[in-house]
Amino acid sequence: MYFDNVGKSNTDKTLELALRTAKERGIKHIVVASTSGETALKLSRNTDINIICVSHVNGFKTKGVNSMNESMKEELEENGVRVLTTTHVLSGAERGLSNKFGGISPVEVIAYTLRMFGQGIKVCVEVSIMALDSGLIPYNEKVIAIGGSGTGADAAIIIRPSHASSILETKIDEIICKPIEKRE
């Protein structure tokens, strides 16, 4: 499915499509990007599938501060959702070096290339690799990854992520949904 616009207005349909696809294909794991936890919470109320919520890294907006409040994290965990907060695999330390010294790193080239498919698709790839590297999903098994362009969710894919150390072995098997991004 292709959405006419990016953003939060597509969240409910994205989650519906992801859940339906998981059930139809027998996919047991869904990785969802969720900064505040709201998108992951919506998803957790509708399924018994293993859900991993990947939040922003601590200090993403304000040094030393997590974007997800502790009560939301506790509610997600009570609903069986595992919450992962770790360094973003497609930026992390390399972005810090680029910001300080200029230039661009190979990992940033990967991120910009994935953004050609849309911001949400880039996020899907990134969070699935982060979940794999953290041991929260199995290696070489199809999972569904859900991402977005800002707030909410507007992209979902079936992916077989590889570890960050072998990132180019990652395979996107299917795009379930994504927005058609307008040029500015």
Residues of the chain with pLDDT > 90, as a percent, come to 70
* C-alpha to C-alpha distance for 147 and 128, rounded to whole angstroms: 10
Please tell me the predicted confidence (pLDDT) of residue 93.
74
* C-alpha to C-alpha distance for 31 and 51, rounded to whole angstroms: 6
Q: What does the DSSP assignment read for the chain?
A: -EESS-SGGGHHHHHHHHHHHHHHHT--EEEEE-SSSHHHHHHHTT--SEEEEE-PPTTSSSTT--SS-HHHHHHHHHTT-EEE----TTSHHHHHHHHHH-S--HHHHHHHHHTTS-HHHHHHHHHHHHHHHTTSS-TT--EEEEE-SSSS--EEEEEE---GGGGGG-EEEEEEEEE-PPP-
Lowest mean per-residue pLDDT among 19-23, 80-84, 85-89: 85-89
Q: Which residues contact 61 (CB under 8 A, 6 or more apart)?
A: 67
In which band, very low, low, confident or very high, does the pLDDT at 68 lie, cut at 50, 70 and 90? confident
Mean pLDDT of 155-159: 98
Amino acid identity at 136? L
- Residue 30's CB: how many other CB atoms inside 10 A? 28
Lowest mean per-residue pLDDT among 35-39, 76-80, 99-103, 130-134: 99-103
* C-alpha to C-alpha distance for 150 and 140, rounded to whole angstroms: 29
Mean pLDDT of 26-54: 91
Mean pLDDT of 141-166: 95
Please tell me the predicted confidence (pLDDT) of residue 46.
63
In which band, very low, low, confident or very high, does the pLDDT at 59 lie, cut at 50, 70 and 90? low
Lowest mean per-residue pLDDT among 16-20, 40-44, 125-129: 40-44
In which band, very low, low, confident or very high, does the pLDDT at 17 lie, cut at 50, 70 and 90? very high
> 155, 149, 161: which is closest to 178 by C-alpha?
155
In which band, very low, low, confident or very high, does the pLDDT at 101 lie, cut at 50, 70 and 90? confident
